[in-house]
Chains A and B, each alone.
Chain A
Amino acid sequence: MRRTLKPLFLYLAVAGIVIWTIAPYLWLIISSLSWKIDLLTVPLRWIPTRLTLENYYSLFFDRGGESVNVQLFIHSLGNSSVIALFTTTICLILGVLAAYAIARLRFKGSNFLVLGMMAIQLVPPIILVVPLYVIMRQMDLLDKRIGLILVNTSIVLPLVIWLMRGYFASIPTDLEDAARIDGCTHLGALMRVILPLSGPGLVSVMIFAFIASWNEYLYAFIFTNVDAKTLPVLIGEFSTKLGLEYLRIAAAGVLASLPPVLLALAFQRFIIRGLTAGAVK
């Protein structure tokens, strides 16, 4: 869709959007490069007089100790990546199939499935944590990446199904009908007609699924200890008995936000004009 907004308003709006989105993150970056005492000045200097890499340094090196921390940070990064990748892949495959079934195929129980999924989503995960902990322990899935992949799937899959169903539903049925008249099966129609058309939706759902799994905190926290610890859990541990270690969290947060953003930057061009222009004709 192209609207002919006056260029000035457009660029003002874009500037506003960028500032709104970036400003807090910029402050996070500045904080992570500062000494704590400099952030306590009034009036506040937005660009501090002196910058330091100490907060980043402390993520990777114990002051005066062995560099156990660098292993931890990179290890957690690796865990987060693997878990998110596998979860996203599984959820996309299973989710697209299920979403197609719900959106296009009238079968008994499809409504019930949708409502059931939503009902499950409404239950706060914190109440499921302890019984789930027992199950995971009995199946020796605690502190293992496969365990987290399984539980993350249970969280991300409903999201994928919900969203893909919405995108599928918004695609007119004419094309599929044409394909089926030509002899395509339902699945064929899915593969050859619907999926290509829902490209932008598919990409955005993939990004969401990845980020949802990457940032998942509660299950990752309760079900891991050291081996399968993910990045958000590691960041959550940057606190003392007195409170959060804000600057370390800022530094780690800056680093932890980068992979999902890079992923989005790489894939955003797929959320482009779809192939629908003229397709119905």
Chain B
Amino acid sequence: MNTSTTKSRFQLAFDNPRILGLALSAPAMLAILSVVLIPLVNSLWLSLQQRDLSRPQENAFIGLKNYVDLLGDPRYLNSLQATIKFSSFSVLLEILLGVAIAVVLNQNFRGRGFVRGLMILPWAMPSIVNAAMWKWIYNADYGALNALLTQLHVIENYQVWLANPQSATILVILANVWKETPFTVILVLAALQTIPDDLYEASRVDGATEWQSFLHITLPLILPVLMIAALLQFIWGFQTFELVYIVTGGGPFSTTELTTLRVYATTFRSLRFGYGAAMAYLTSLIVLIPAIVYIRSAYRKVVEL
């Protein structure tokens, strides 16, 4: 350790948390903003306009009319509800499964390293491949799911899973959970490493059961990482596109239609860029508010720890 007590004024200034903090985070912020800022402002401006590319004679500034129309657009509202359902259930399952799997993978067993490395496989798959794979698995006449279930005598006949709203939703969530869970597993696994053995030793000496150890030692200590994982997974749930586009196309009759599909259809197919931009920002806004509340409370919890 450098025990020199003489520091230059430069070093002292830089050691000031406020200046240093800004200096350290500035490059990252610059990197993000330089890409994102102008498009953000541009498309935000676009959302306040009527911009149907195939009818340029109708271009006009219309203020918040797009947003107002959206709030009364049943198809959009349906997609919002579908996305919230999709994302929430996905996150719930991902967290539960993720923690359970991480705990198991944290144990000592033969081949542990190999299984841990293998664990990343679903997350490592390109999303197009994942979507195509599940679409084929769920195929009504020849798919693997039907084959498996009939060969195991769980069902008698092949089912058209994706034509039924309930089963379609469940299967789409399942495909998403399969793909996304490894993220939570590895995050939690890494967090589990930082928990010292002594804590468990001490609790065992005190006579606590494994479940109690888990509840009172493990869980609180991985909670910060878990909350971040949950938030990220929730946000990513809202950005899911390929999976649903390829597997169901939004069907049956729009019951799995996510907001991303609506934005894509509105901008890239209907060429209504103003309305599409408003749709994107309204969705972000609707998710932003609970997310902020969530972060505030999570941050407070983390600080308290």
Contact = CB atoms under 8 A, between A and B. Distances in A.
Does A touch B (CB under 8 Å) in the complex?
yes
Contact of B128 (A126, A129, A236): A236
Nearest to A4: B210
A98 B187 contact: no
B154 interface: no
Query: Which of B32, B113, B264: most chain A Cβ within 10 A?
Result: B32
Contacts of B132: 244, 246, 249-250, 253
Interface centre among A101, A183, A203, A246 (most CB of B within 10 A): A101
Contacts of B225: 166-167, 170
Contacts of B263: 124, 126-127
B202 interface: no
B107 interface: yes
A159 B232 contact: yes
B186 A28 contact: no
A24 B134 contact: yes
A211 B232 contact: no
Interface string B109-134: 10001111111111111111100111
A135 B34 CA distance: 11
Given A130-B273, A271-B190, A276-B194, A211 B120 contact: yes
Given A14-B109, A107-B21, A236-B128, A97 B28 contact: yes
A105 B21 contact: yes
A108 to B, nearest CB: 6
A163 B183 CA distance: 11
Contact of A100 (B24, B147, B213): B24
A77 to B, nearest CB: 12
B39 to A, nearest CB: 4
Interface in A255-273: 256-257, 260-261, 264-266, 268-269, 271-273
B288 A3 contact: no
Interface stretch (B58-66, B67-75, B88-96, B275-283): B275-283
A31 B132 CA distance: 12
A236 to B, nearest CB: 5
Given A126-B264, A200-B193, A268-B117, A120 B36 contact: yes
A274 B218 contact: no
Interface string B130-144: 001111110001101
A203 B190 CA distance: 9
A90 B60 CA distance: 42
Nearest to A90: B31
Interface in B34-84: 34-36, 38-40, 42-43, 46
Contacts of B194: 170-171, 197-198, 200-201, 274, 276
B207 interface: no
Interface string A223-259: 0000000011001100000001010011011001100
Interface in A134-161: 135, 150-151, 153-154, 157-159, 161
Interface residues of B, number: 122
Contacts of B23: 101
Contacts, number: 348
Interface string A160-183: 011101110111000000010011
B189 A246 contact: no
Main secondary structure of the interface of B (DSSP, over half): helix
A249 B128 contact: yes
B126 A235 contact: yes
Contact of A98 (B28, B158, B242): B28
Contacts of B32: 117, 120, 153-154, 157-158
Nearest to B128: A236
A244 to B, nearest CB: 5
Interface in B10-41: 11, 14-15, 17-25, 27-29, 31-32, 34-36, 38-40
A185 B11 contact: yes
A22 B119 CA distance: 9
A170 B129 contact: no
Contacts of B287: 122
A182 B3 contact: yes
A51 interface: no
A150 B35 contact: yes
Interface of B: 1-5, 11, 14-15, 17-25, 27-29, 31-32, 34-36, 38-40, 42-43, 46, 101, 103-109, 113-129, 132-137, 141-142, 144, 147, 150-151, 158, 178, 182-183, 186-187, 189-198, 200, 210, 213-214, 218, 221, 224-225, 228, 231-232, 235, 238-239, 241-242, 246, 259-260, 263-264, 267-268, 273, 276-277, 280-281, 283-284, 287-288, 291-292, 295, 299, 302, 305
15 contacts: A7-B109, A17-B115, A21-B118, A24-B133, A24-B178, A98-B24, A101-B21, A106-B21, A123-B40, A124-B238, A127-B276, A127-B281, A135-B38, A235-B129, A268-B117
Please give me the 6 A-B residue pairs with the lowest Cβ-Cβ distance, nearest first: A253-B129, A107-B21, A265-B117, A44-B147, A260-B124, A105-B21
